[in-house]
């Protein structure tokens, strides 16, 4: 109650002067309260549904609900009423949703079925480690209202304290549902014919990938390639990311409906930046694999500057498998649906000896895309800045073969010592040319380099919009092409 009153008191002020100014323009944020992982993302009858980890009563993580939003294009979202509330089995942790086209569950043809983790804070206190179980709920009105299954949980806890985040897919060849579940330090696979009774099929990953932290939020994706079907297992890990804190790794391999195998050596990362975590893909989207992540990091998520709402999602990203020097790599690019919100803007360019200036970008109001291309692979720094000295640098260091985003002078960076200042990412492409797309929104920078082969996502908190861009480059003989697009 107290928190509601506080909300009501600070709301008008924050709208006028505060955080509303920095609310992202084309990234999803909750109207109020706390948000973390995207959940149950699904496409049905022309609409995209996003559910999300939500504490509606506070701006820090707390009793988890599933919030809900709907979009026609994955860019503009309309928040709906809360979908799932905590119950006697616990709060509602991350999970997924499916369309039950053949009524395998008996809940109804084309019903939406949500599969999620119940986390019991009471049982957790006992120290038994049995506090996480898997449950289901169904909706017969496209997600407006939900009925929890009377026989929950559908998977009880076998004695694993981190036992959560079920992602369910339909596997046509075996006519079965497959669940991938994060189970402490590996992914456990389950099969079911009806979404209610589940059999354990196997495990993956105890000796593969990054194990610095706990494994969370898995997803299993199928890709068609010219070498046949390939499968990708996505696994978030916290901590253990390349730039510290939370990050998402992936494994490329084969899946037979029961077991996943991968010969991959080393760890591959979906995004090297500090702020793309717990990403999973939309269900029921035909052959498209589209992922959205939570744009934050558990190392500082609860302390980022906020008044009435906290955290946003990444842009929806189309994932593709690309072969580079005999190795498959996962690339991510903003979905094509973003294009209809983009408008090319001409910004005056002044070439100097070893830098280029673009002034008067204030009209872009920190809601734009900058595309950059050079004919040779050489060092550069793209500096987004404003008159009060706030800046963000996106660059490339050819000696180290690394991209980077430096947010050390981006505004408020002092709220938590773990808010890392510069994030680095290896260049994966071997192309002789270099091109990148940078999406800027009110408090995020997303870099997609070399057609999305290297991605870096970083959030920032500044007072004023950037009003100019300077590109530092030693060799302006190198043909440098820069374009600006206003978004929205």
Cα gap 437→318, rounded to integer Å: 14
Provide the mask over 435-474, with x wherever binding to ligand FRU is found by CB under 6 A and - wherever it is not. Answer: ----------------------------------------
Length of the chain: 488
Cα gap 406→392, rounded to integer Å: 6
Select from 41, 42, 64, 290 the one that contacts ligand FRU (CB under 6 A): 64
Contact between 195 and ligand FRU by CB under 6 A: the answer reads no
Tell me how far, at minimum, the Cβ of 94 lies from ligand FRU, in Å. Answer: 3
Q: Exposed (0-12), middle (13-18) or buried (19+): which is 23, by Cβ within 10 Å? A: middle
Provide the mask over 204-233, with x wherever binding to ligand FRU is found by CB under 6 A and - wherever it is not. Answer: ------------xx----------------
**Mode of pairing for the β-strands spanning 260-261 and 247-255:** antiparallel
Tell me how far, at minimum, the Cβ of 320 lies from ligand FRU, in Å. Answer: 25
Q: How far apart, in Å, are the Cα atoms of 222 and each of 27, 225, 231? A: 26, 10, 5
Cα gap 202→262, rounded to integer Å: 14
Cβ-based nearer residue to ligand FRU, 247 or 452: 247
Select from 29, 53, 191, 267 the one that contacts ligand FRU (CB under 6 A): 53
Alpha helices in 191-271 (DSSP H): none
The three-class DSSP label of residue 165 is strand
Tell me how far, at minimum, the Cβ of 399 lies from ligand FRU, in Å. Answer: 35
Cβ-based nearer residue to ligand FRU, 9 or 60: 60
Cβ-based nearer residue to ligand FRU, 37 or 337: 37
Tell me how far, at minimum, the Cβ of 98 lies from ligand FRU, in Å. Answer: 18
Ramachandran area for residue 343 (φ above 0: left; ψ -120 to 50: alpha; else beta): beta
Return the residues of window 360-399 that contact ligand FRU according to CB under 6 A. Answer: none
Cβ-based nearer residue to ligand FRU, 94 or 183: 94
Cβ-based nearer residue to ligand FRU, 157 or 367: 157
Tell me how far, at minimum, the Cβ of 183 lies from ligand FRU, in Å. Answer: 11
Tell me how far, at minimum, the Cβ of 396 lies from ligand FRU, in Å. Answer: 31
Cα gap 319→208, rounded to integer Å: 22
Contact between 165 and ligand FRU by CB under 6 A: the answer reads yes
Contact assessment for residue 269 and residue 263, using Cβ atoms and an 8 Å cutoff: no
Cβ-based nearer residue to ligand FRU, 181 or 428: 181
Q: With CB under 6 A, what is the number of residues at the site for ligand FRU? A: 12
Considering only CA atoms, which of 179, 145, 166 is closest in space to residue 94?
166
Contact assessment for residue 119 and residue 133, using Cβ atoms and an 8 Å cutoff: no
Tell me how far, at minimum, the Cβ of 308 lies from ligand FRU, in Å. Answer: 20
CB atoms within 10 A of CB 339: 12
Contact assessment for residue 252 and residue 230, using Cβ atoms and an 8 Å cutoff: yes
Return the residues of window 21-40 that contact ligand FRU according to CB under 6 A. Answer: 36-37
Contact assessment for residue 59 and residue 306, using Cβ atoms and an 8 Å cutoff: yes
Tell me how far, at minimum, the Cβ of 61 lies from ligand FRU, in Å. Answer: 6
Select from 278, 295, 364, 449 the one that contacts ligand FRU (CB under 6 A): 278
Strands (E) in 239-364, as ranges, are 247-255, 260-261, 268-269, 277-281, 290-294, 309-310, 317-324, 327-334, 342-345, 349-351, 355-358
Cβ-based nearer residue to ligand FRU, 239 or 305: 239
Tell me how far, at minimum, the Cβ of 123 lies from ligand FRU, in Å. Answer: 15
Contact between 237 and ligand FRU by CB under 6 A: the answer reads no
Contact between 301 and ligand FRU by CB under 6 A: the answer reads no
Q: How far apart, in Å, are the Cα atoms of 421 and each of 221, 411, 416? A: 33, 11, 11
Contact between 275 and ligand FRU by CB under 6 A: the answer reads no
Select from 43, 51, 66, 93 the one that contacts ligand FRU (CB under 6 A): 93
Cβ-based nearer residue to ligand FRU, 280 or 453: 280
Cβ-based nearer residue to ligand FRU, 52 or 372: 52
Q: Exposed (0-12), middle (13-18) or buried (19+): which is 170, by Cβ within 10 Å? A: middle
Cβ-based nearer residue to ligand FRU, 19 or 55: 55
**Tokens matching residue 342:** 């983009």
The three-class DSSP label of residue 8 is helix
Return the residues of window 112-131 that contact ligand FRU according to CB under 6 A. Answer: 117
| Nearest-10 Cα torsion for 441, 281, 117, 70 | 60
Contact between 164 and ligand FRU by CB under 6 A: the answer reads yes
Q: Which residues lie across from 368 on neighbouring strands?
A: 440, 486
Active site residues: 37
Tell me how far, at minimum, the Cβ of 236 lies from ligand FRU, in Å. Answer: 6
Contact between 94 and ligand FRU by CB under 6 A: the answer reads yes
Give the binding site for ligand FRU (CB under 6 A).
36-37, 53, 64, 93-94, 117, 164-165, 216-217, 278
């Amino acid at each position: 109650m107290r928190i509601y009153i506080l909300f009501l008191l600070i709301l008008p002020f924050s709208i006028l002067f505060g955080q509303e100014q920095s609310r992202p323009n084309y990234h999803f944020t909750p109207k109020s309260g706390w948000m973390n992982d995207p959940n149950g993302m699904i496409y049905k009858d022309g609409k995209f549904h996003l559910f999300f980890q939500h504490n509606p009563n506070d701006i820090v993580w707390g009793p988890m609900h599933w919030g809900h939003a709907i979009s026609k294009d994955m860019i503009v979202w309309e928040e709906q009423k809360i979908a799932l509330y905590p119950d006697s089995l616990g709060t509602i942790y991350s999970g997924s949703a499916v369309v039950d086209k053949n009524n395998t569950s008996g809940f109804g043809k084309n019903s939406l079925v949500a599969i999620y983790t119940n986390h019991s804070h009471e049982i957790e206190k006992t120290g038994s480690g049995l506090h996480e179980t898997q449950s289901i709920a169904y909706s017969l009105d496209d997600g407006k209202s939900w009925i929890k299954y009377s026989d929950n949980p559908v998977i009880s806890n076998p004695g694993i304290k981190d036992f959560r985040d079920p992602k369910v897919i339909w596997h046509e060849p075996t006519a079965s549902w497959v669940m991938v579940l994060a189970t402490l330090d590996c992914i456990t696979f389950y099969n079911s014919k009806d979404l209610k009774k589940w059999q354990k099929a196997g495990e993956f990953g105890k000796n593969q990938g990054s194990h610095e932290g706990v494994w969370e939020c898995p997803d299993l994706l199928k890709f068609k390639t010219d070498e046949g079907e390939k499968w990708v297992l996505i696994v978030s890990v916290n901590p253990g990311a390349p730039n510290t804190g939370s990050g998402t790794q992936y494994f490329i391999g084969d899946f037979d409906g029961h077991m996943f195998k991968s010969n991959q050596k080393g760890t591959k990362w979906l995004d090297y930046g500090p702020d793309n975590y717990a990403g999973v893909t939309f269900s029921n989207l035909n052959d498209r694999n589209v992922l959205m992540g939570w744009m934050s990091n558990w190392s500082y998520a609860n302390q980022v500057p906020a008044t009435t709402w906290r955290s946003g999602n990444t842009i929806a990203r189309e994932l593709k498998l690309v072969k580079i020097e005999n190795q498959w790599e996962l690339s991510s690019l903003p979905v094509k649906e973003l294009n209809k919100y983009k408008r090319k803007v001409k910004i005056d360019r002044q070439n100097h000896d070893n830098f280029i200036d673009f002034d008067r970008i204030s009209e872009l109001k920190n809601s734009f895309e900058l595309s950059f291309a050079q004919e040779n692979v050489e060092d550069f720094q793209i500096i987004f800045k404003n008159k009060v000295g706030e800046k963000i640098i996106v660059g490339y260091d050819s000696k180290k073969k690394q991209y980077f985003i430096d947010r050390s002078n981006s505004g408020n960076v002092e709220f938590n010592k773990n808010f890392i200042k510069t994030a680095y990412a290896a260049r994966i492409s071997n192309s002789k040319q270099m091109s990148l797309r940078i999406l800027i929104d009110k408090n995020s920078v997303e870099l997609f380099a070399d057609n999305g082969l290297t991605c870096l996502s970083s959030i920032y908190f500044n007072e004023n919009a950037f009003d100019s861009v300077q590109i530092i480059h030693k060799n302006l003989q190198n043909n440098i092409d820069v374009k600006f697009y206003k978004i929205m």
